[in-house]
Structure 1
């Protein structure tokens, strides 16, 4: 159980008990601030939890729950998710959704209704495939009725740059809000990586000896000018 002792110029020494560093780091990743609560650093834990989770949830709301997903419908990794994954548990439903929708979907695990299978993108419009006794026929439908992909689920349907696929619809209908949602959730993950480092290594405390050395180098640099 490593302990950091900080002796300020005035007052009593400050003791920071990091306890089990690896467990602290894991808890800090699992839920922002949890590792600091485990270490008894409640004020810092609450600060990280409120700031990081609120940033992530605001971004998730801006992107209507669709700006966080692990892979696309073709199984290719969404590279933004590498940063979003840093938030831990709040971003894990994206992994579950990607696994459960990779082979056609599992209704039990899907958190919302996905993009329906009876909608198809052809040319530059979306069509609904009506199935009846006479067979299949297509009829145009409003674009807004096609936005039914699940929370944190990958965009459904084929990915094609030449037709308005599901991902293109998200960008078209949410406009800059989708990109802002990606940015917010990505930054939240990066911030939590810093919080994980703080839980593992402790606060970046400048000791009295280090401060004296910094002042000595500063004065030496001034004298050489």
Structure 2
């Protein structure tokens, strides 16, 4: 065979296969098959992350609760490290919503009835939402809020209560700080949405007493690690399907394709290229015996 036809030294095929699973193409880089490695790495990862982006980064997650197992994840996990955080996230989520931590099993991360939010106080975060209130002069006030919210626990006649303020703008115009109080509702700290719902009563002094005159409702951001590849609740799944429609289904399929393609890459890293007919060494031509001229 020519030099270009020499069989490739696969080194340790088990290590190559493991590397190929963790990062598409890494096993081929390990074997020195750099051209194939570059093609595999670019094509598979670009397909996977394209699917993630098309699906608003909510296409890859795993649920292990009875009746909610996501079998499609077993295709996605073939892409390796980019899909593995979902296993950690589902463990965190299941621990949070387990019966020992929640009053109901079918918890929805958009809502808050059973979440002991007081343990998270004090809370300070950017807030976007709406205001519906009755002002000091009795006129209704409503509009879009954007600013910063601060909440904390304070002693009350019945144990502890929530108190806080909102500072920012109403319909892009500065407003005086709003005083906030119970009832407060806040979404679970973990969930598939980047935003966490929050509702709170607005209180004003009326006839010398603090009285509820309205409420604000909106959302505060979740940290990246509290939503990325986190299991989606039924409501979150409905919302993303309403928002993206068929695009979400295409996005999920993209991630499936990427994971399944990487299974072939893993096999190629383990077994090496296929050598077919014509790759074997040609036998050296035998010399014909020369007749003795004396005979």
TM-score by length of 2: 0.52
Distance 1:85 1:13 in 2: 35
Matched with 1:22 is 14
Matched with 2:92 is 100
Match of 2:270 among 200, 216, 219: 200
The answer on 1:82 being equivalent to 2:159 is no
- Report how far residue 204 of structure 1 moved: 2.1
Distance 2:69 2:251 in 1: 18
Structure 1 spans left out of the alignment, 5+ residues: 1-6, 106-113, 121-126, 160-164, 211-225
The answer on 1:55 being equivalent to 2:47 is yes
Count of aligned residue pairs for this structure pair: 177
Matched with 2:247 is 177
Distance 1:187 1:55 in 2: 8
Q: Which has the larger radius of gyration?
A: 2
Distance 1:26 1:37 in 2: 12
CA offset digits 1:98-136 (Å, max 9, x no partner): 11111227xxxxxxxx7463359xxxxxx96546899xx
Matched with 1:152 is 229
Matched with 2:28 is 36
In structure 2, relative to structure 1, the CA distance for the partners of 1:147 and 1:173 (3 Å cut) is farther
**Structure number having the greater helix percentage:** 1
In structure 2, relative to structure 1, the CA distance for the partners of 1:209 and 1:53 (3 Å cut) is closer
CA offset digits 1:168-209 (Å, max 9, x no partner): 111111212211110000000000000000000111221327
In structure 2, relative to structure 1, the CA distance for the partners of 1:46 and 1:209 (3 Å cut) is closer
TM-score by length of 1: 0.67
Do 2:201 and 2:216's aligned partners in 1 also have CA atoms closer than 8 Å?
no
Whose RCO is larger (CA < 8 A, sep 6+)? 1
Distance 1:167 1:140 in 2: 25
CA offset digits 1:9-41 (Å, max 9, x no partner): x76532211111111100000000000001110
Matched with 2:258 is 188
Find the residue that maps to 2:8 and give its secondary structure.
strand
Structure 2 spans left out of the alignment, 5+ residues: 98-108, 113-185, 189-196, 204-209, 281-295
Do 1:119 and 1:129's aligned partners in 2 also have CA atoms closer than 8 Å?
no
In structure 2, relative to structure 1, the CA distance for the partners of 1:96 and 1:115 (3 Å cut) is farther
**Structure number having the greater strand percentage:** 2
